[in-house]
Structure 1
């Protein structure tokens, strides 16, 4: 189980920490890179080519502002690409969100919420769960833990009021 995370810059790392930890906690091998689609396009192409050749299952991309990175990566691979729009100073991340979701037909990028690195990790795990049944079972157990926690909270609230 291999996931590549490509961020537009090193300043995006703090927003992707939880994503990285979730993937590793579920046993995924994670490669993390910081490559701009605008400033390092040749290195980005080499990185995506490596993903195409080395058994990477899913690529998660994270970018803010113009957020061309997810679309550029998707144009170089048929691997599933998940885009995480990041909140920058202007437009509260809506610019990145619109850039990522408005891909042309035939070059899709799955998109999660602004700063939605956690859901990018869970979506990548679900995608890989199709190929790796044990991972799917771990995800089901995780969902059951979430349900149990929610029901406990509900019980606590009902008892309090």
Structure 2
């Protein structure tokens, strides 16, 4: 899906920054004090349960697709993403997005083909953002993002009444 097979210096730098804990945790503080609306609906904060500890865990993620009752997010570090592994163990979670806080959701992984389609739609809707994100995802995954059957895991978070 990305045109340039060789990652740019910017993509390598961005991938390195995404591995810097305090940088990626900074938006969580904004959500927790009620300022998550500043990010609109392009980002959301996922509150999930640690698979080993059972404690609440938080991560802010880019929204790849927004349906009437769901949000789709990408696991930029692939199967190594702790939040992804936690959702596999405990699919019930909460999201904060826009002005909504702690909305209950049920997580479901997309198939590789569904994920590829969602990424194509995202690239068409947000070409500038995708041109920056695709090389970063390829750096964090360690492989190119494919047109079909992508290995980049995507998760649909469906709003639910269950709490």
- Same fold per superposition (TM over 0.5): no
Rg comparison, structure with higher value: 1
Structure having the larger proportion of residues in strand: 2
Higher relative contact order (CA 8 A, sep 6+): 2
Structure having the larger proportion of residues in helix: 1
TM-score, structure 1 as length reference: 0.29
TM-score, structure 2 as length reference: 0.29
